[in-house]
Structure 1
Amino acid sequence: MSAPQIVSGLAEIADRYDAVLCDIWGVIHNGRESFRDACVALARFQAERGPVILISNAPRPSPAVIEQLDGLGVQREAYARVVTSGDATRALLAERAPGPAFKLGPDRDDPLYEGTGVTFAPLEEARFIACTGPFDDETEEPNDYRERFEGAVARGLEMICANPDIVVQRGDKLIYCAGALAQLYEILGGKVEMAGKPFRAVYDICLEEAASRTKTPLDRSRVLCIGDGLPTDIRGANAQELDVLFVASGIHEAETLDAGGAIRAEAVESLLRQEGLKANWAMPDLVW
């Protein structure tokens, strides 16, 4: 498996691609502030090359994520469309309506359920679990749910996980996401279904959106995926046989950057090899 080529900016490789599918959290913001250079790079690509589709494992429909991006100062010129795990998950929920479901996650994720027909009940009365994350991601971890999950697994309840991410960076802190809860649920013997990265459903939506915005038929070999997460962004792109630009300064920063912020090429190569993954390109931060 060949090592990714280290590039200094998106401009070096932009002419190879007609569309970009770019991760959001960890690449263009950290939950507290946006990364100006990354936003400028995406805006330049979109102005000069083709559409940028932002692809997020946020468990909410895209309008809520666009509102968050606006609040963080991400300019609308940096992307053509946002597609979320929540968008792809709504179909899974509608198939199981009315449920009822046990709603596991903070109230801010409630827009996910609007229009799906799903109703809610306590865990003891639910027919499945709808998980968008811990109730309080600032203080809770997966093991806080072990006892409840053991009872649900014993009853044969399926979990619909709206965000496959294990952790995400919020400011300078890593917090647990729904994927970490789903991982524990599967370890305990439970069945989990997901539609976000690295699974196909969300990529199908993104590629369809990109194709609708190009003047010629979209060639998958000319689509670039950009992301920082190996289990989601990189694995998902590999499964779809799409080229990948790995951004090292996200959740794997401690393993892949030196004290000065420079990329450690051998560490990136080793990390990818350990996971059985590949990336075509790598850079410390997304810049033009």
Structure 2
Amino acid sequence: MTQIIRALDEIALNYDVLFCDLWGCLHNGVEAYPAAVAALQGFRARGGRVVLMTNAPRPRKYVAEQLDGMGVPRDAWDMIVTSGDAAQDAMFAGAVGRRVWAISQPKDEGFFTDIPEEWRDAPPIQRVELDKAEGIVCCGLFDDLTEVPDDYRARLMLARERGLKLLCANPDVVVDLGEKRLYCAGALAELYEDLGGTSLYFGKPHPPIYDLARRRLGLDDRARILVIGDGIATDISGAVGEGLDALFVTGGLAFDQFGPDVENPEPARLQEWLALRAQDPTYSIGRLR
């Protein structure tokens, strides 16, 4: 049974490293949560290390710039690892071919143009129309403010008929931008699988992003890691798959499921909701603080 805590400090001494989600935990896509920032700063001040682990479909430097713009101080984290980092590595390795139909926005441009040093000598990735593509790279909807996954059904059916694989740079299905809920690349990847296509995933809850984080931070099997996140199917499921403890932030994506006080989830509602999803995170908290 999950243990509801009021603050990270209650359990912080049990861990050396945090793998902390961003959207819904540290910020809402518009502004940072001051209490969450302070919690991460406090953890680092006591000698812990913080990896910001996000399913953002962009290389980490763009996420750092976004956090700077929200006023998140650099002393709140040690490293950023993104789904974009792991998926980009697979793309340049040729996981879905070298001529790809890219479903992306201008903000995702760096995913294609910022070539990692180890891939500088590889054949280039060319973005082409669907009828000329060897595979699909999906960073998100073309216009996530107005479109829904079903708008892509006909095109994805054509891709399935051609046997194209879809590389998903962000396994998240939805995210909240302020008060508005938007669809992410994961929603298109799920639809493609429902249509009989093959989708490849590299962010949470799939192993590549965790392997990348451990490698970059130089962690061994003795490191005591706590995963923090609001996504039950990504953050919490990923922690279980990696054999790691998890802190479920109930005030994120599922904020309206656990009673009227977002900061204080009702235990009975929380336990019922988790049981229906066959999940039992080590800890739960209303908002990260």
> Could you tell me the TM-score, scaled by structure 2's length?
0.93
Do the aligned partners of 2:97 and 2:134 also contact (CA within 8 Å) in 1? no
Q: Residue 248 of structure 2: which of 246, 249, 273 is its match?
A: 246
Note the 1:93-172 alignment, pairs <5 A.
Answer: 93-96=91-94, 99-114=98-113, 115=115, 117-172=124-179
Q: CA RMSD in A?
A: 1.4
Letter in 1 for 2:112: Y
| Aligned position for 2:278 | 276
Gaps of 5+ in 1: none
Note the 1:170-181 alignment, pairs <5 A.
Answer: 170-181=177-188
Letter in 2 for 1:87: D
C-alpha distance in 2 between matches for 1:279 and 1:130:
32
Gaps of 5+ in 2: none
| Aligned position for 1:256 | 258
Do the aligned partners of 2:262 and 2:286 also contact (CA within 8 Å) in 1? no
Letter in 2 for 1:172: E
Do the aligned partners of 2:3 and 2:284 also contact (CA within 8 Å) in 1? yes
CA, structure 1 residues 228+111, in 2 after alignment: closer, same or farther (shift >3 Å)? same
Helix, strand or coil at the partner of 1:11: helix
C-alpha distance in 2 between matches for 1:201 and 1:260:
32
Helix, strand or coil at the partner of 1:253: coil
Number of equivalent positions: 280
Q: Residue 54 of structure 2: which of 53, 56, 81 is its match?
A: 56
Aligned-pair distance for 1:210? 3.6
Note the 1:14-53 alignment, pairs <5 A.
Answer: 14-53=12-51
| Aligned position for 1:219 | 222
> Could you tell me the TM-score, scaled by structure 1's length?
0.94
| Aligned position for 1:90 | 88
Do the aligned partners of 2:86 and 2:209 also contact (CA within 8 Å) in 1? yes
Letter in 2 for 1:219: R
Stretches of 4+ moved more than 3 A in 1?
209-212
C-alpha distance in 2 between matches for 1:282 and 1:48:
22
C-alpha distance in 2 between matches for 1:123 and 1:200:
29
Letter in 2 for 1:110: E
Using the aligned pairs only, state the percent identity: 40
Helix, strand or coil at the partner of 1:258: coil
